[in-house]
Amino acid sequence: MGGDHAPTEIVSGAARAVREMDVEVIITGLRPDLTAELKKHGFHDSTIRLVDAIEVVKDGENAIIAAMRKPNSSMAIATKLVKDGKADAVVSAGSTGAFMVNAYQHLGCLPGIERPIVGGAFLKLAPNTFMLDMGANVGCQASDLLKFAVAGSVFVRKFHGIENPTVGLLNVGAEEGKGTEVVKEAYCLLKESGLNFIGNVEGMDIPGGKANVIVCDGFVGNILLKYSEGMAKGINHFLSEELAVMLPQPAVESVTSKLMKQISTPDTTGGGPIWGINGVAIVCHGASRADHIAAAISEAKLAVESDFVGTLRVELEKALKGTPG
Amino acid sequence: MGGDHAPTEIVSGAARAVREMDVEVIITGLRPDLTAELKKHGFHDSTIRLVDAIEVVKDGENAIIAAMRKPNSSMAIATKLVKDGKADAVVSAGSTGAFMVNAYQHLGCLPGIERPIVGGAFLKLAPNTFMLDMGANVGCQASDLLKFAVAGSVFVRKFHGIENPTVGLLNVGAEEGKGTEVVKEAYCLLKESGLNFIGNVEGMDIPGGKANVIVCDGFVGNILLKYSEGMAKGINHFLSEELAVMLPQPAVESVTSKLMKQISTPDTTGGGPIWGINGVAIVCHGASRADHIAAAISEAKLAVESDFVGTLRVELEKALKGTPG
């Protein structure tokens, strides 16, 4: 029930996943709404199981209060299915904050992690660059940034086959000694971490793909993510008008849609895992369409099958041994 | 002598300004280099005056150390010309940090301002939206963000004729209570400020032009600025290749160059004033070309002629009366 286009696009994405992947999907939410959507895709609730969730967390609600006061929200019920061993992973396009609180509350964190992490690929322009955190952690300490770097490195190695992933610290200059006190301290921790730390990276190094893993406070990551979305929208509008007088409409649409893909979060990810949670929880953008939901379900499947959470637990313990925080 | 394309593009921009505007330019730096560049434009150093500056602040130097140890850098000598009443304004494309320290050291700040501010228009897509700070202030307090809002409002009103400019606080969500502790506190200060505060704005609201003045920590502003530059480069590359098979080369170049303008800092500003300084100091991007330098000189002229600094002094005193910080 969460996301700008729920439940229509959510159900549509789930239907696609069931059709195209070897995956079983349970949808939680308001049964009459979900049944009506499923019918559009020729599914009955014997194929895709429905589980009642009578509350909905709305955008704008305080995340912690929503998670506390709405134990029967669709995201809470879905998360509890994982806790109870009835599902292997949970995917949501609802409020990132509330989902994070739910995941934290019901599944808990891995040892050494106090707060879960949201990250993932950022731009198709730089397909081998992964950013974390993208909004779950606002107001980070240096040790948080180190944890992001460890989690990102494990993810890139496991999921993308890059053996010794490079790690960059997002900053306002390339030189050591730049940035806020937190970032300066993080630089020192990363230097000593045993990770493949290449130093500070700057804003242009994100589309430039300078590092495989770029770490930043979720405040910065979230603003960058939404800024990209707004830029894409503005560029699409401008370019469509410019090209309309030069090219036939199908060609205009082909060019603009290819460009939009380049400057959006890659479709192959759909969303991002909430890293650090003791279970697989994938958070999608609020604006997710069916494509993104299906991709996020595929990502959840990969995470389960490769025992990402178990591996991350081991690697975090190893890397954080002896470091502060 | 500062900037990626110094002194060639700097001198070229100065030559253009002298030719096209009613303005007198003094260039500081290494005389033989400057004389050679001036000759290319048919100028002798009687038309554009040269003042010797035998040191150059290099990118990557610590700003404070550079400003202390290089009292004869081109930016220091240029700033001292303003201090001594021999020039009305100073323009530099050198290291922003070092320039800021120089301006602070030689010209001082306006009452109520402890640290100078870098701001200006951000995207041509949103021509009436001005961002501050863009990198001079890293690790801000709430009261700093309030000062940015006051300075931005005065600038937009004076320079862009917008009578009651809207002010937005860059954050990770629209609702009150989002963000870091500093941002939450700034929200309260802005609400009580008497400014036309419209609340939090998010990343997509920058290209969306949701507010006339958007305030953020320079850490975020600088990363966004450089991210935009990197995105523009990536988009230009991708789009040029895509369109090359569909359109003749001149048409490709026309479309891409128009798009690049939309997603770059508007040419009309060239750079941004260091606000809060007791004098007119315009900082340009390191990558500035002649166009940008000429535009920055034009901006300096406008600032001098409209007594921007005097007006800002009065408005800051008025707005900050009774507020903390």
| pLDDT digit string, tens, across residues B186-242 | 999 999 988 999 999 999 999 999 999 999 999 999 999 999 999 999 999 999 999
Instruction: State the sign of the Cα–Cα–Cα–Cα dihedral A36, A37, A42, A45.
Output: negative
How many other CB atoms are found less than 10 A from the CB of residue A285? 21
Chain A: closest CA distance from residue B263 (Å): 8
Computed over every residue of chain A, the mean pLDDT equals 91
Residues of A in contact with B181 (CB under 8 A): 139
Q: State percent of chain A over pLDDT 70.
A: 97
What pLDDT, in 10s, does the model give residues A18-47?
999 999 999 999 999 999 999 999 887 677
CB A55 within 8 A of CB A37: no
SS (HEC) of chain B: CCCCCCCHHHHHHHHHHHHHCCCCCEEEECHHHHHHHHHHCCCCCCCCEEEECCECCCCCCCHHHHHHHCCCEHHHHHHHHHHCCCCCEEEECCCHHHHHHHHHHHHCECCCCCCCEEEEEEECCEEEEEEECCCCCCCCCHHHHHHHHHHHHHHHHHHHCCCCCEEEEECCCCCCCCCCHHHHHHHHHHHCCCCEEEEEECHHHCCCCCCCEEECCHHHHHHHHHHHHHHHHHHHHHHHHHHHCCCCHHHHHHHHHHHHHHCCCCCCCCEEEEECECCEEEEECCCCCHHHHHHHHHHHHHHHHCCHHHHHHHHHHHHHCCCCC
**Phi, psi of B67, rounded to the nearest 5 degrees:** -65, -35
**pLDDT score at B264:** 79
Q: CATH for B119-266?
A: 3.40.718.10
pLDDT of residue B43: 84
Look at A226 and B243 and tell me if their CB atoms are within 8 Å: no
Residues ≥6 apart with Cβ < 8 Å to B10: B1, B2, B3, B27, B93, B288, B290, B293
**Window from A41-45, A153-157, A223-227, A270-274 with minimum mean pLDDT:** A270-274
Tokens 């100078």 identify what position?
Answer: B116
Kindly report the CA angle at B104 between B145 and B14, in degrees rounded to 5? 105
Q: Which residue of A58, A64, A219 to mutate against B (max B Cβ within 10 Å)?
A: A219
CATH number at A1-116+276-325: 3.40.718.10
* Surface-to-core class of residue B115, CB atoms within 10 Å of its CB (0-12 exposed, 13-18 middle, 19+ buried): middle
Distance CA A116, CA A110 (A): 9
Q: CATH code for B1-116+276-308? A: 3.40.718.10
Q: Select from B23, B69, B71 the least CA-distant residue to B49.
A: B23
User: Which pLDDT belongs to residue B97?
Assistant: 83
More confident residue, A317 or B84: B84
Residues of B in contact with A177 (CB under 8 A): 62
A219–B180 CB contact, under 8 Å: yes
Cβ within 8 Å, pair A62-B177? yes
Say if strands B271-275 and B117-123 run parallel, antiparallel, or are unpaired: antiparallel
Lowest mean per-residue pLDDT among A43-47, A92-96, B13-17, B78-82: A43-47
Distance between start and end Cα atoms, chain A: 37
Q: Looking at chain A, which residues constitute the CATH 3.40.718.10 domain(s)? A: 1-116+276-325, 131-268
Pick from B181, B147, B3, B16: nearest CA to B78: B3
Of B58, B158, B115, the closest CA to residue B275 belongs to B115
Residues of A whose CB is below 8 A from B204: 226-227, 229-230, 233
User: Which structure tokens are listed for B211?
Assistant: 């507010």
**Of B145, B184, B206, B231, which to mutate for an interface test with A (greatest number of A Cβ within 10 Å)?**
B231
Architecture of domain A131-268: 3-Layer(aba) Sandwich (3.40)
Q: Where in chain B is the domain with CATH 3.40.718.10?
A: 1-116+276-308, 119-266
So what's the ipTM on this one? 0.80
